[in-house]
A and B are shown apart, each in its own frame.
Chain A
Amino acid sequence: MAETHSLQELQTPPVSSKVFIQRDYTSGTICRFQTKFPSELENRVDKQQFEDTIQTLNNLYAEAEKLGGRSYLEGCLACLTAYTVFLCLETHYEKVLKKISRFIKDQNEKIYAPRGLLLTDPIERGLRVVEITIFEDRGVGSGR
């Protein structure tokens, strides 16, 4: 496909395709992703592992968006300080997002990268999709 080959290409296997896991809106506007196993990944990764990953992601997002005492307290405190408190403190949601990116990095290192796949953190795609990049299986080292 490429007329020239660069050292870049030799290091990183070319991208074969991308699979997008869409959002699941059946419970409303909360952030949930569909757990349906895409057919493109059938011979790449175990179905159960994939579903576990997505389910854990969903649970983490549910934790971030949970309406409970903690979020109400945060909201009231913010209101009383005319919302200036958010300029200094990190919100609960942001803390959970950091947890999610650590989880995704961890999953990539342990499960997906050895199989030539790469999960992209949904926050980089506006929480619309979980993008899974499928690298061509060349047997040349692992992807990024």
Chain B
Amino acid sequence: MKSCEYQQIDPRALSVSPLSAQSHPQTKAQRPRRKWEVFPGKNRFFCNGRIILSRQSGVLPLTLGLIVITCGLFFAFDCPFLVEHLTVFIPVIGGALFVFVILSLFRTSFTDPGILPRATPDEAADIERQIDSSGSSSYRPPPRTKEILINQQVVKLKYCFTCKMFRPPRTSHCSLCDNCVERFDHHCPWVGNCVGKRNYRFFYSFIISLSFLTSFIFGCVITHLTLRCHAGKSLIQAIQESPLVICFFSVWSILGLSGFHTYLVASNLTTNEDIKGSWSSKRGAEDSGNPYTYNGIIKNCCATLCGPMPPSLIDRRGFVPPDEAAAAACTSEIELPPFTAKNDTNMCTQSTKDVLERMLHSSDFHGVCPAGPPKTSPLGLEASDSLGAARAPSMCSRRADSPCTTCARSRKDSLHSINPAFRLASPSPSLPRVNLALSDTQEKGFIPLP
């Protein structure tokens, strides 16, 4: 609260040129941004952050379409006949199952699967400082694994270069969504989202209810055809109108999938662990054994499906803090293209670039801007383009070692090392240009990943 009040009479804001004075009221007048608007992962948000979806929504519309068409055909052609010949409860049960399936599907697709927010620059620096404390050269990449004991069993934690942290156990990084997801099961294209800790129970209830629905429809359709045969009516026409074919193929695959996931739930495994064979007995008797199991089918099922619902860690609808918002507002339009263009480069390059950017932007954006020549600092990007582009390469070659070393040094040191260079070459608004060039130079295999 105090800092917001005092920002209005911040003497630094008074000393800058009119252009900057223009941009400052603009950023203040700009509505406060919500965290989902600056979320770094590949996700889409709707309803002002309430609904989260993967950017690659896969075949979710197809899934919906198949379910709706199948049920539609069932209600249109089979139900009237069956209501007449059997009971009125058939469409009632079908309707209830249909509603349950659709709600579970939406819950699975639109829920945050357990995304872990990326490490803040301070955290990342702290981790790198800890692992660099053995005093090696600045070009050595941080070790990628850390071994810990879980229930007397050795588990390796991997370092995530995108999120800049050691992944908690059972967490995996989804390359499609570009997020670390807790208790990562798999990325399901049918629901258009990852399946993880928070939405696994919804996913499970979706496939179980879908199994019931498809089996139910399949059964009703067979009954219908049988009755028609007995009644001597046209069989071919009945087959053409009923959803028999769709049902026939989907029943077996859905039932198979449900069976597989029931086995996973009962043994407290994830699809990811099962596929990799992390806890299989092939690895040796002393290594085997899932350290997370409760050694009881009922307990495993209850823990996985009926356990407490963990909260979303990414706080989509929270507001971005004002000091970060000011930095982000100036660079947000420029930041996005480099990130989207960087899909193919290795994660380490991107992560070191991120660390460099964030340490420059968030930690003393205020310090860098007016520190040097105030007249040039608030220049629009177009003015400093030529400056930045021309000088960036020379700066980059000198700066090539900075990402790793800045990670290792404290924030203050990094500012000292970067400030003079930026004051010489170009002020902070052209930082994104520098970073674009930086990324190009770094692609030449700067940090070799094993």
Contact = CB atoms under 8 A, between A and B. Distances in A.
Interface of A: 1-4, 6-8, 11-12, 17-18, 20, 23, 25-29, 64-67, 71-72, 74-76, 78-79, 82-84, 86, 91-94, 97, 123-129, 131, 144
B12 A67 contact: no
7 contacts: A18-B126, A28-B151, A72-B306, A75-B309, A79-B205, A127-B313, A131-B122
Nearest to A14: B412
Interface stretch (B23-31, B68-76, B113-121, B275-283): B113-121
A126 B292 contact: no
Given A7-B11, A26-B149, A94 B311 contact: yes
Contacts of A124: 315
A59 to B, nearest CB: 15
A43 B159 CA distance: 32
A28 B150 contact: yes
Nearest to A96: B308
Given A79-B205, A83-B107, A128-B116, A64 B7 contact: no
Nearest to B204: A79
A94 B310 CA distance: 8
B6 interface: yes
Interface stretch (B163-171, B187-195, B252-260, B353-361): B163-171
Contact of A72 (B302, B370, B410): B302
B3 interface: yes
Given A26-B148, A67-B303, A74-B308, 11 more contacts: A3-B371, A4-B370, A4-B371, A7-B10, A7-B11, A8-B3, A11-B3, A64-B308, A83-B103, A93-B311, A123-B313
Contacts of B2: 8, 11-12, 144
B116 A126 contact: yes
Contacts of A8: 2-3, 6-7, 10
Contacts of A128: 116, 119, 123, 165, 168
Given A28-B150, A28-B292, A79-B205, A71 B107 contact: no
Give the 8 A-B residue pairs with the shortest CB-CB distance, closest first.
A75-B306, A82-B103, A126-B117, A126-B313, A71-B308, A72-B306, A3-B371, A7-B6
Contacts of B99: 82
B299 to A, nearest CB: 8
Contacts of A72: 302, 306
Interface string B112-139: 0000110110110010000000000000
Interface residues of B, number: 60
B371 A126 contact: no
A92 B123 contact: no
B261 interface: no
Contacts of A129: 123
Contacts of B302: 67, 72, 75
Interface string B1-19: 0110011011110010000
B307 interface: yes
Contacts of B169: 25, 28-29
Nearest to A133: B122
Contacts of B15: 4
Nearest to A84: B103
A125 B168 CA distance: 14
B123 to A, nearest CB: 6
A129 B119 CA distance: 10
Nearest to B127: A20
Contact of A12 (B3, B202, B205, B313): B3
B224 interface: no
B205 to A, nearest CB: 6
B305 A75 contact: yes
Contacts of A4: 11-12, 15, 367, 370-371
B7 to A, nearest CB: 7
Contacts of A67: 299, 302-303, 307-308
Nearest to B306: A75
A26 B6 CA distance: 46
A117 B271 CA distance: 43
Interface in B435-449: none
B314 interface: yes
Contacts of B366: 6
Contact of A2 (B123, B149, B367): B367
B123 A26 contact: no
B201 interface: yes
Interface string B291-306: 1100000010011011
Contacts of B291: 28
Contact of A71 (B100, B103, B307): B307
